[in-house]
Copies of this chain bind each other. A is one copy, B any other.
């Protein structure tokens, strides 16, 4: 005689549970919150998801999310077209751009190499990166490609693969990675040994 939730409600709870960091209890709580705030929370979220599904694609040049291809960033004439920065995600692209230290364009990978989870070079978009580098090398020429992946094992593997791939196709193209060192605002005492060692080796 136990209560069966409506199938629509079960589907909603299941879909919310698929989000990262959301367990079964939170998914149920969120589902009831959505239903109890139909006008103010559910409708905007549903409309936003429908809008993203129908209106948002990938830019063919930088692989970022955009309504147009090329996107506003790639077609911005104020950006230095001879400089390309390769990042792991749109979130990383926003972080690099917020530093105001990069005048060039971007290419956004679909994450980092992780063969165990089925993310090989093709899945994260490295073949598309090579294609974009070829396209940019053509008319105007490229001065430099910066691989701005993180200094984690997966980020390192991604960078090594990308650098090797680009160097094989374009032996004369300058390919770099972000400098390693002590981050801003952190006490030397609390900086991890790996970071300190790299900051010492690459002192200037």
Where the two chains meet, the residues of A that have a C-beta atom closer than 8 Å to any C-beta of B are: 1-9, 11-12, 14-16, 18-21, 26, 28-30, 32-36, 38, 40-53, 55-56, 65-67, 72-73, 76, 78-79, 89-91, 93-94, 97-98, 103, 110-111
Closest to A64 in B: B3
Which of B1, B12, B16 is A51 in contact with, Cβ under 8 Å? Answer: B12
A48-B12 in contact given A3-B97, A19-B33, A41-B18 (Cβ < 8 Å): yes
Q: Compute how far the CA of A79 lies from the CA of B16 in the bound complex, rounded to whole angstroms.
A: 32
Q: Could you tell me if B44 and A46 are in contact, using CB atoms closer than 8 angstroms?
A: no
By a CB distance below 8 angstroms, the chain B residues around A20 are 29-30, 33
Q: Could you tell me if A111 and B42 are in contact, using CB atoms closer than 8 angstroms?
A: no
Q: Compute how far the CA of A15 lies from the CA of B35 in the bound complex, rounded to whole angstroms.
A: 14
By a CB distance below 8 angstroms, the chain B residues around A26 are 21
Q: Compute how far the CA of A167 lies from the CA of B40 in the bound complex, rounded to whole angstroms.
A: 35
Q: Could you tell me if B110 and A48 are in contact, using CB atoms closer than 8 angstroms?
A: no
Q: Could you tell me if B44 and A3 are in contact, using CB atoms closer than 8 angstroms?
A: no
Q: Could you tell me if A50 and B46 are in contact, using CB atoms closer than 8 angstroms?
A: yes
Which of B34, B52, B56, B93 is A52 in contact with, Cβ under 8 Å? Answer: B34
By a CB distance below 8 angstroms, the chain B residues around A35 are 52, 56, 65, 90
Q: Compute how far the CA of A18 lies from the CA of B36 in the bound complex, rounded to whole angstroms.
A: 13
Q: Could you tell me if A46 and B49 are in contact, using CB atoms closer than 8 angstroms?
A: yes
Task: For the complex formed, measure the closest distance between the CB of A88 and the CB atoms of chain B, giving whole angstroms.
Answer: 11
Q: Compute how far the CA of A3 lies from the CA of B32 in the bound complex, rounded to whole angstroms.
A: 36
Q: Compute how far the CA of A29 lies from the CA of B89 in the bound complex, rounded to whole angstroms.
A: 10
Q: Can you list 30 contacts pairing A with B, beta carbon distance less than 8 Å?
A: A1-B103, A2-B98, A3-B94, A6-B55, A6-B65, A6-B67, A8-B51, A8-B55, A9-B52, A12-B45, A12-B49, A14-B44, A14-B48, A15-B41, A15-B47, A16-B45, A18-B41, A19-B33, A19-B34, A19-B45, A28-B91, A29-B91, A34-B49, A35-B90, A36-B89, A36-B110, A38-B53, A42-B49, A42-B53, A45-B49
